[in-house]
Amino acid sequence: MAICFLSPLKAITPTTSLTTSLNPKKPNILRCNFSLPIITTTEPEPVFTSVRSFAPATVANLGPGFDFLGCAVDGLGDFVSLRVDPSVHPGELSISDISGTKNLSKNPLNNCAGIAAIATMKILNIRSVGLSLSLEKGLPLGSGLGSSAASAAAAAVAVNELFGRKLEVKDLVLAGLESEAKVSGYHADNIAPAIMGGFVLIRSYDPLELMSLQFPVEKDLIFVLVSPDFEAPTKKMRAALPAEIGMSHHVWNCSQAGALVASVLQGDLVGLGKALSSDRIVEPKRAPLIPGMVGVKKAALEAGAFGCTISGAGPTAVAVVDSEDRGVEVGERMVEAFWKEGNLKAVAMVKRLDRVGARLVGSVPR
Amino acid sequence: MAICFLSPLKAITPTTSLTTSLNPKKPNILRCNFSLPIITTTEPEPVFTSVRSFAPATVANLGPGFDFLGCAVDGLGDFVSLRVDPSVHPGELSISDISGTKNLSKNPLNNCAGIAAIATMKILNIRSVGLSLSLEKGLPLGSGLGSSAASAAAAAVAVNELFGRKLEVKDLVLAGLESEAKVSGYHADNIAPAIMGGFVLIRSYDPLELMSLQFPVEKDLIFVLVSPDFEAPTKKMRAALPAEIGMSHHVWNCSQAGALVASVLQGDLVGLGKALSSDRIVEPKRAPLIPGMVGVKKAALEAGAFGCTISGAGPTAVAVVDSEDRGVEVGERMVEAFWKEGNLKAVAMVKRLDRVGARLVGSVPR
């Protein structure tokens, strides 16, 4: 690893949204190629000495949106600080520091942030500058809140911002996918909303097509995220999935997926919650593997949540409400249920929909 | 059958929309009970001597919307004339005339319009008035354009209008479902859009929940419907469906269903067409059973259609375009392909989205 010295970061740039570059009058679809694109024109120069970025937590699957739908959650996520470092070999990246967890490798090739940063440097064709990256984990690992995607998204955005924001959103998602592929499979339902914010539908992978689904700006959407002290056995969670699905269940889940998308676009919280709760294929197989989850969902609905399901592959439970007060109440009931029904301690958080996605939060000019 | 005399019908009421009763500010969801509701209060009196109604053709399935999504097509459908008839036993219905086809029974219990009209009379609790119904088929039978649903929708609406429009849309759909259940199974993906117009997502049956999906009013959506001279063997078409679906195909079709719904609501014709064409589960099994269908789809896309699939269970092919001129061109290519690839004569029609649904088109006051 290269020698590290941390630059003092100064927030001189207001929080900026990557998604603002999407023309709101055009349907929000991004199409790009499957393989990692490489910009072969002039190598860009860094416009900052250092930058600091943030990427939010994400909730993937969303019940019937299994493996193709995810959304971002505000006020919870990972930070990346990135700086030009003459002590790092030109064209290479070093991870100087990781805080917030002890379980991550500082080898950039074995670290989500490292892989995504290197992929972004590759797309930008960076050969003359070495970089040092510092990762601050705000998200617990393996919680079902898109921890790896948040690190990757923050890293990809940091590299792009450092070199003058040359890349499009699609390139950043592809860079993040390089990382996700190593950690949890080539799935974009966390990395795409982590970068783009809001709800994102993964329409296809070859070519990668992403649809941004805008929840109406005038409406509030609040998530209750309850994480139990339990390690969801990833292999077991994946193995629990049925290989074949009966036609009636397929039609049911398809219709609920359609209803979920319509509810998001129409800002219909009741409909959204109902769709979230409606999965008949994945949740019924996975919920019994998380102690107390069935009772937690019941408790959330009884306490007034519009809907509840497993976040990602778990073990976090996610419920949807329309006010923070209601969210606190629902969260307490869910924590109680995890303890009573699953003998698990749990922590509840009440968070809003993140509409921005990964963003620059600080920078030091050259 | 009762003696029949046809009243001259005079269009004194402008075309009215049933869907206008839906509050546009509320999410367009209808929830109702599974069983046929019966109004047990005062029996309503007829407010007209006779009425005439129209209900449009419908395209069900729409590719990945299999069994839960349908839309209505303007300028193509069935008419029902209904009148108070003292010669018919009070509380009963007689079918006096059927034109446009020779293959339908005049026994009201074996006729789509008859069953739906009687179900509507039952919901309204009509016991004191006998009715005569005349059916004008504008739609060919077994074409995949919702012929039975159009007859049922027109009949249900005619009865409701004759007695002063006492029922809600949900009741009319339930009455129509009584008819569909006898003809093609308890599926609402034709009858719901035939009654409500536009795109309708069938969210659940118990209770029946319908979501109206509004395609933006400022945009044109044009269908090319190409019906070959071929009887799609219904049993064979149903038997061709797989009982079990692999997880990857399920996820793919679910995501396309979500993309289809989003494209409808966002008025994204390219996205809508692409989703229409994307079904990997039903169309690949059914298309080979309709001679030439695979080539017809190819021809439609090559001629500039945004998407193409089988309408309902076929044999009609449906393509989507954005102008009538393009529609005529695409239709010609599709007709040619049916002849060249399937050795079938075919007829092309170019029609707009129907946004109104079943409606009163004439009435004679008492």
Check if the beta carbon of residue A289 is closer than 8 Å to that of residue A338.
Answer: no
- Cα separation of A51 and A8, whole Å? 10
> Is-catalytic flag, B332?
no
Check if the beta carbon of residue B364 is closer than 8 Å to that of residue B50.
Answer: yes
Question: Phi then psi for B39, rounded to 5 degrees?
Answer: -80, 115
| Digit-coded pLDDT (tens) for B279-302 | 999 999 999 999 999 999 999 999
Q: Do the chains contact at A255 and B27, CB–CB below 8 Å?
A: no
Q: Highest mean pLDDT range out of A49-63, B8-22, B37-51, B172-186? A: A49-63
Q: List chain B residues with CB under 8 Å of A28.
A: 266
Exposed, middle or buried, A29 (CB in 10 Å: 0-12/13-18/19+)?
buried
Q: Determine what percent of chain B is predicted with pLDDT higher than 90.
A: 82
Q: In this structure, is the dihedral angle defined by the CA atoms of residues A63, A68, A73 and A76, taken in order, positive or negative? A: positive
Q: Do the chains contact at A251 and B66, CB–CB below 8 Å?
A: yes
Helix, strand, coil percentages (3-state) for chain A, rounded to 5, are 35, 25, 40
How much is the pLDDT for A18? 38
Chain position carrying tokens 């030091």? A364
Neighbours of B358 (CB within 10 A): 37
CA B304 to chain centre: 26
How much is the pLDDT for B184? 79
Q: What is the pTM of this model?
A: 0.89
Choose among A27, A67, A257: nearest Cβ to B257. A257
Catalytic residue among A180, A283, A309, A316: A180
Kindly list the structural domains of chain B, giving each domain's residue range(s) and its CATH number in brackets, ordered by start: 18-214+355-365 (3.30.230.10), 222-352 (3.30.70.890)
| Digit-coded pLDDT (tens) for B72-118 | 999 999 999 999 999 999 999 999 999 998 889 999 999 999 999 99
Choose among B67, B203, B258: nearest Cβ to A261. B258
How much is the pLDDT for B25? 43
Catalytic residue among B15, B231, B234, B302: B234
Q: Do the chains contact at A257 and B255, CB–CB below 8 Å?
A: yes
CA B203 to chain centre: 17
Best probe of the B interface among A209, A247, A254, by most B CBs < 10 A, is A254
Mean pLDDT of B152-165: 98
Question: pLDDT digit of tens for each residue in chain A (366 aa)?
Answer: 332 222 322 222 333 333 333 343 444 554 444 467 766 568 999 999 999 999 999 999 999 999 999 999 999 999 999 999 999 999 999 999 999 988 899 999 999 999 999 999 999 999 999 999 999 999 988 899 999 999 999 999 999 999 999 999 999 999 999 999 988 788 999 999 999 999 999 999 989 999 999 999 999 999 999 999 998 777 788 899 999 999 999 999 999 999 999 999 999 999 999 999 999 999 999 999 999 999 999 999 999 999 999 999 999 999 999 999 999 999 999 999 999 999 999 999 999 999 999 999 999 998
Check if the beta carbon of residue B164 is closer than 8 Å to that of residue B120.
Answer: no
Closest-approach residue (CA) in chain B for A248: B243
Q: Do the chains contact at A262 and B211, CB–CB below 8 Å?
A: yes
How much is the pLDDT for A39? 62
Catalytic residue among B58, B180, B309, B316: B180
- Cα separation of B176 and B168, whole Å? 13
Is residue B325 within a helix (H) or strand (E), and if so which, with residue range?
helix B324-342
How much is the pLDDT for B28? 53
Q: What is the DSSP string of B107-142?
A: SGGGSHHHHHHHHHHHHHT--S--EEEEEE--S-TT
Q: Do the chains contact at A259 and B213, CB–CB below 8 Å?
A: no
| Nearest residue to B66 (alpha-carbon basis) of B274, B282, B259 | B282
Per the model's pLDDT, the better-predicted residue between A103 and B178 turns out to be: B178
How much is the pLDDT for A3? 29
Per the model's pLDDT, the better-predicted residue between B57 and B32 turns out to be: B57
How much is the pLDDT for A21? 36
Q: Which residues pair with B32 in a beta bridge?
A: B208
> Is-catalytic flag, A234?
yes
| Digit-coded pLDDT (tens) for B114-136 | 999 999 999 999 999 999 999 99
